[in-house]
């Protein structure tokens, strides 16, 4: 995905002025930066929820989008299964719907709560259900706006382990404040900065070359991810922290 000369403002408040970015077409771009640095606004421009000037090339015509928000936003009156079904196109056959829903429920380990309502499931299950609803459409571009905010470390690790193999062939733009999350999943990290009364700048860009899709087998379950505390990624961690804090 290529963003060329992106311009966006809220009335007189200029957020982006001639912003240029190249994001991996099949990979994860992580957007970081302080509050008010335009991270969510960029997602809204990419998904064309905001009108902007400039050009965004998605790598294919008619690219489809899915959005995962900070909160699961599940419909309270629907079961987990029905929440997932709700976003599918109406022209699919009943068999196609069942196949897609069953596939994503199995891959995100939601079998035990598929008939449960949102008020009766855990935070981790709600997070996985939100991801399932986004992934069931087989989108080209997946936008994630701090989807793991508020989850404990163990839950985040479990969800990331399930998520990583499902996004291997997608363009993912992932907004987070958590350096550990970025190290676990990103192929390219952008750090945004916006000083008072000025537009957003890209303070730094870091490529992470370690492959997150290598896996090992543990108790018959495929575990995915990186060693985020290894020597290589400790160097990357310092680079990111320096960009965020200096």
Rounded Cα distance, 107 and 218, in Å? 16
Rounded Cα distance, 65 and 135, in Å? 10
**Residue found under tokens 């899709």:** 213
Kindly report the three-state secondary structure assignment for every residue of the chain: CEEEEEEEEECCEEEEEEEEEECCCCEEEEEEECCCCCHHHHHHHHCCCCCCEEEEECCCCCCCEEEECCCCCCCCCCCHHHHHHCCCCCCCCHHHHHHHHHHHHHHCCCHHHCCCCHHHCCHHHHHHHHHHHHHCCCCCEEEEECCCCCCCHHHHHHHHHHHHHHHCCCEEEEECCCHHHHHHHCCEEEEEECCCCCCCEEEEEEECCCCCCCEEEECCEEEECCCCCCHHHHHHHHHHHHHHHC
Averaged pLDDT score across all residues of the chain: 88
145 CB-near residues (< 8 Å, 6+ apart): 39, 40, 43, 67, 68, 69, 70, 175
Domains of the chain and CATH, by start = 2-64+141-245 (3.40.50.300), 71-138 (no CATH)
Residue 221 has pLDDT above 60, yes or no: no
Residue 223 has pLDDT above 70, yes or no: no
Tens of pLDDT, residues 162-190: 888 888 788 999 999 999 999 988 999 99
Of 140 and 5, the one with more pLDDT: 5
Q: How confident is the model at residue 219 (pLDDT cuts 50, 70, 90)?
A: very low
Residue 157 has pLDDT above 80, yes or no: yes
CA dihedral 114, 225, 2, 57 (to 10 degrees): -30
The percent of residues above 90 in pLDDT, for the chain, comes to: 58
CA atoms within 13 A on the CB side of 172: 29
């Amino acid at each position: 995905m290529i963003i060329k000369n992106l311009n966006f403002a809220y009335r007189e408040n200029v957020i982006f002025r001639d912003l240029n970015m190249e994001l991996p077409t099949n990979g994860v771009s992580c957007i970081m930066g302080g509050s008010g640095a335009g991270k969510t606004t960029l997602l809204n421009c990419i998904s064309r929820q905001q009108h902007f000037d400039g050009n965004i090339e998605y790598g294919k015509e008619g690219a489809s989008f899915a959005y995962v928000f900070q909160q699961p936003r599940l419909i309270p009156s629907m079961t987990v299964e029905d929440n997932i079904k709700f976003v599918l196109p109406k022209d699919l056959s009943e068999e196609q719907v069942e196949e897609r829903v069953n596939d994503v429920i199995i891959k995100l380990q939601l079998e035990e709560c598929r008939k449960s309502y949102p008020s009766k499931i855990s935070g981790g299950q709600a997070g996985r259900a939100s991801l399932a609803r986004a992934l069931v459409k087989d989108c080209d571009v997946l936008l994630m706006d701090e989807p793991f905010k508020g989850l404990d470390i163990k839950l985040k690790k479990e969800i990331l382990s399930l998520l990583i193999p499902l996004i291997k062939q997608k363009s993912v733009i992932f907004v987070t404040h958590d350096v550990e999350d970025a190290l676990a999943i990103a192929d390219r990290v952008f750090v945004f900065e916006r000083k008072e009364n000025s537009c957003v700048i890209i303070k730094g860009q870091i490529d992470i070359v370690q492959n997150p899709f290598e896996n090992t087998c543990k108790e018959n379950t495929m575990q995915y991810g990186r060693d985020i505390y290894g020597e290589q990624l400790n160097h990357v961690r310092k680079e990111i922290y320096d960009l965020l804090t200096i």
